[in-house]
Amino acid sequence: MSDVSRQNPNEEDYGDLGEKRNRRIRIVAWTVIIALILGGGGATVITLILG
């Protein structure tokens, strides 16, 4: 059985859109990770100051 016959016929090749999507997902993921780290650190500092 060849690769062509296994491929979904409704699935189209979007070319560079897959790369752009992966890059956007990576940027969003890193932004969320950094925001969580900074937010957690900020909460810790506020707790120590007000604590």
Residue 9 in tokens: 């016929």
The amino acid that residue 44 corresponds to is: T
Kindly report, residue by residue over 21-40, the tens digit of the pLDDT: 999 999 999 999 999 988 88
Long-range contacts of 15-18 (CB under 8 A, 24+ apart): none
Banded pLDDT at 18 (limits 50, 70, 90): confident
Q: Provide the 10 A C-beta neighbour count for residue 40.
A: 10
CA R_g for the chain: 22
CA gap 42, 40 in Å, rounded: 5
Domain boundaries, the chain: 14-50
